[in-house]
Structure 1
Amino acid sequence: MDGDVAVGVKRGSDELLSGSHYNSPNSSVTSNGSDSKKLRVEENPPSRVIHIRKLPNEVSETEVIALGLPFGKVTNILMLKGKNQAFLEMGTEEAAITMVNYYTTVTPQVRNVPVFIQYSNHKELKTDSALNQRAQAVLQAVSAVQDGSSPNSESGGSESVLPAPSPVLRIIIDNMFYPVTLDVLQQIFSKFGTVMKIITFTKNNQFQALLQYSEPVNAQQAKLSLDGQNIYNSCCTLRIDYSKLVNLNVKYNNDKSRDYTRPELPAGDGQDSSMNKDSTSLLGVYGDVQRVKILFNKKDSALIQLSDGNQAQLAMSHLNGQKMYGKIIRVTLSKHQTVQLPRDGLDDQGLTKDFANSPLHRFKKPGSKNFQNIFPPSATMHLSNIPEDVTEEDLRLLFSNAGGTVKAFKFFQDRKMALLQMATVEEAIQALIDLHNYDMGGGHRLRVSFSKSTI
């Protein structure tokens, strides 16, 4: 029997996917693929010890613990593998009650096999650590993750319960008979923590998504609980893994991407007011931007002051006539020698910015190699400062989500640098603006510049 998790999922007493909009035409909102065999909970009084029966053969401790993780801290576990049973002790009786109530409406699944959950007549578990050593080791590792610390490396715990490498999950939807929207994903995954960002896309004719939590432990709990489960009856199966990316770059709030921490983001019509800001990043490829002033009566124009006249001349020669957001950029030398900052107490509506101390300056160090790698905008970009575990697929995905098509990719021998080619120069310009200095995790900030090479 398939594991249907989203239809009828509850958060407290509110159904996450209530209403017929999210249900398949042949299912009701509380249907979970077992209408004729409703889960029977025996009438034991509430206890923080949960009795789980009908477990599949060779089930792991991690899979059993995952049943309880979304509802609170798991404090003890006893595996009875010969009887296909287990006892799970929750940290509080309230957590156990929430867990049992949840699984009365959604049949719990382990390896796509329905299992039976009820309160135990035991009020706590007293386990012999010598006989239950492996289960206790796994629980210790999980508890360390829940507490935000690192598990004991000598505990012998399963690798699958080590701290999540990233707060970002990569989700593939298999057997997709019905549409899966951003809102559906947000409602399903928010049960396990705060969902910050989601990006959806289609690759190899498969619907996929990247979803970022506020904390890696939330991603771990979601993966343990939802991987292999179905959104709707017998279809839309979730395949979940960790992404190498630790932070998603969301530019627009629309039906394909969403940053829940920035509701002010535009829908992405390509004509938003960020063009001037992006132009300032772009000029930073050819010089260190000191100050910027957007003209009050002409918001599509700005004065941009670089460190010296040579940098200004270089920026003009390379950028004048290039295209961004479908518009031609016009760059000329100004009669003004400096951009004046507003007088103290004068509100200029944020039109003037001082970037003198920006950490993004490329040419601050005398004799920097960056001086030797200044080229006109091109479809091919040079990437550097790439973490060791980041793959070609990760980088292709990152740059595709910046709004374009990756045509070619090539790692350098040490894999710390690479060449990446977009379909057009305009796409490369936008990708550079979005992803230069991008946080790749572990203290690595991606460095992006235009290249004279071809792939």
Structure 2
Amino acid sequence: MSTSTQHQFRYTQTPSKVLHLRNLPWECSEEELVELCSPFGRIVNTKCNVGANRNQAFVEFVDQNQAISMVSYYASSSEPAHVRGKTVYIQYSNRHEIVNNKSPGDIPGNVLLVTIEGVEAGDVSIDVIHLVFSAFGFVHKIATFEKTAGFQALIQFTDAETAASARDALDGRSIPRYLLPDHVGSCNLRISYSAHKDLNIKFQSNRSRDYTNPMLPVNHSAIEGAVQPTIGPDGKRIEPESNVLLASIENMQYAVTVEVINTVFSAFGTVQKIAMFEKNGQTQALVQYPDVTAAAAAREALEGHCIYDGGYCKLHLSYSRHTDLNVKV
């Protein structure tokens, strides 16, 4: 079957001025849909984030011929339709108009989707976001990420009423200047509702926080890691000593818990704090002693030591640049 016949065969559906788009990026925005479709005609309605995976959408043109021209263009083009690098499949819808004009962003919920315009990801810290939105009620969780739309945050409140009061007060406003770095100009907030009800936060980090679960492990992205050693005149490494050790655990055949780490390291002094996290698929722990002497003794004795017989759970230790861990009790 030649390509032309294949294309004809694929599009034997009845034309409609409503197109059905599949395989879109997750939580694709209305702006992205309009950008893709508007070259072919005037769009009168859209319905985003449809389907179980929220990766389908409907777009309604003012005139059926405009929808036909879009389908025909991509049917004969060697370059498929793309949004954020994903190939989008376009076909006629079996509906002839979009009835429900309420996009998910208009349906009230307890989670807000906040786009922070005019900033890079590192410009607005998660603590600043928390401070701004806490003025309206208890913030349960925050997750931040970068999308083509810009730097975004999902902010979870107790209920839709609290979220609505924050949205009404802050949508279109700017984060106060004194909370931002000097190089940032204006910083507008665009706020809609998210379809999420409960965010799944696995780690406390500089990108995500769960304020309801202080026992959550701290992720490596929130921790600078170990000090880069300097090399002495004899070619050997000189590491600045610290009262906090960074322990990497190799060959983990058995679970290593905070309790296990505490038992092993307590032999050398009082262990004040422990933070465990995953980095590049490896379990690591930060262990804080009251002073450098205890940490140095532990490092000397435990480097290369296995927690369990048979070479299991081998410890590699270095000094951390931390001196006081921020572990939420």
Which bin holds the TM-score, normalised by the shorter protein? Answer: 0.3 to 0.5
TM-score (norm 2): 0.33
TM-score of the pair, normalised by structure 1: 0.24
